[in-house]
Amino acid sequence: MSDPSAFGFEVGAQLAGGRGRTGVIHTPHGDIATPAFTPVGTKATIKGVLPETMAELGAQALLANAYHLFLQPGADIVDAAGGLSRFMNWPGPTVTDSGGFQVMSLGSGHKKVISMSLADSRPQGSDAAGGGARPREIYSSSGKSGRLVEIDDDGVTFTSHIDGSRRRFTPEISMQIQHQLGADIIFCFDELTTLSDPRPYQELSLARTTAWAQRCLDEHLRLTEDRTHRPYQALFGVVQGAHYEDLRRRAVRELVALRATEDPGRGFDGYGIGGALEKENLGTIVGWVCDELPEGRPRHLLGISEPDDFFAAIENGADTFDCVSPARVARNAALYSRHGRFNVNTAANRRDFRPVDEGCDCYTCTHYTRAYLHHLFKAREINANTLATIHNERFIVRLVDDIRDAIAGDYFGELKADFLGRYYGARGG
């Protein structure tokens, strides 16, 4: 069953005057029409929402997190269940990230500080992974928890947030976990940096990430050949380089040139754009990357969900996106509307009997009012999270679907001006 031809990508309409395009990603569990937004079910579930409901609101694929599923319930259990799709009762395509973001953001993502030492700070890149840098360490800012993460040339040692045990991820381990999880699209293990990391470290990290990508490619080939009882999984390389144009372009060229050691014909099936992105320069950075990427491979921008970011990224060549934000902010009573995001639990909504967004066709908007959601959140009812999440996920999925239709119909510019004008022109209307 593990047939590479089960995965493919076809480019459709091109955006006039831009890099954007429509397309179709073919996977063993179905097709994904692009551009597309992929909702994130971190632990193999969208919190409070059934998979059947996610299908009804238009989600074409779901993403789960390798780090969390590795810790609980264990990748071997998901494998024994027949893979992620069967385990979570989602018949469509699935995606897993490598776990790298989680294990390397335990410090900065939880208000910790990063302590970094460089033994070699040469301004231009070394060809050795890590360039001689001593391990990068992330510590608890309070000094009580001790070291949370240690990154070296071989991999990452981290502390489990569940039981405090010390665990280890390497490129090979990440591939083994993701193969057991069985998603249709998986990602290379890469090193996360931040905009505060100096350029010398960005260069050393980029060399390390490229070396890890080669190891991922080799392990992916080995596992694909060993696990012929499972459908083929497409491997995406991840482009790093922060906000530096030369590093981003170098990263792409190096990734595109990589081939599996035992099969020179086997490169990456697609590419992810990750790392530190300045919001105001997001479109520019995506454009740098897409200029260098091959036309016939899909491009996934990791961790994006704001409307203006979609327009900027899509017109510069990105095809697919994922982010936990629509569901996360929904659980805090923040809801999307055509006139901007607003908090439904404020006093202004107590007697507002309009739907969340009068132009929305989701289950929540066609059955319930702002006043009712206001009541549910104030009463701390579980249904508040469910109904809010359904709306937010539908809103974002539909927005990207509308952008796809606009590219195909040659009215992208009009949609962009109209939507962004309304969305950022007023709030909560």
Q: pLDDT tens digit string along 235-286?
A: 999 999 999 999 999 999 999 999 999 999 999 999 999 987 888 999 999 9
pLDDT at 429 over 70: no
pLDDT over threshold 60, residue 115? no
Mean pLDDT, range 306-310, rounded to an integer = 96
Domains of the chain, by residue range, sit at 4-323, 330-424
Chain Cα centroid distance, residue 205: 20
Identify the H or E element spanning 234: strand 234-239
How far apart are the C-alpha atoms of 72 and 51, rounded to whole Å?
19
Look up tokens 């074409």; give the residue: 60
Per mean pLDDT, which range of 14-18, 117-121, 313-317 is the poorest? 117-121
Q: At 144, list the tokens.
A: 């009580």
Average pLDDT over residues 274-303: 95
Q: Which of 68-77, 110-119, 246-255 has the lowest mean pLDDT?
A: 110-119
pLDDT, tens digit, 9 for 90 and up, residues 173-230: 999 999 999 999 999 999 988 888 899 999 999 999 999 999 999 999 999 999 999 9
Looking at the predicted structure, is the pLDDT value of residue 315 above 80?
Answer: yes
Eight-state DSSP code of residue 134: P
Per residue in 411-422, pLDDT (tens digit) is: 999 999 999 999
What percent of the chain stands above pLDDT 70? 89
- Token pair of 109, please? 């993502």
Average pLDDT of the chain, as a whole number: 90
pLDDT tens readout for residues 327-356: 999 999 999 999 999 999 999 999 999 999
Please report where in the chains the tokens 């202004």 appear, as a residue. 348
Q: Provide the pLDDT for residue 265.
A: 94
Rounded distance between C-alpha atoms, residue 284 and residue 290, angstroms: 10
- With 0-12 / 13-18 / 19 or more C-beta atoms within 10 angstroms meaning exposed / middle / buried, residue 353 is exposed
Is pLDDT of 135 > 80?
no
Residue 237 bridge partners (DSSP): 271
- According to the model, what pLDDT value does residue 164 have? 83
- Given a contact cutoff of 8 angstroms between Cβ atoms, the answer to whether 4 and 260 are in contact is no
pTM, to two decimals:
0.91
d(CA 239, CA 252): 6
DSSP string, 8-39: EEEEEEEPTTSS-EEEEEEETTEEEEESEEEE
- Which CATH class for the 4-323 domain? alpha beta
Question: Reduced to 3 states, what is the DSSP secondary structure of residue 233?
Answer: coil
| Catalytic residue ranges | 97, 322
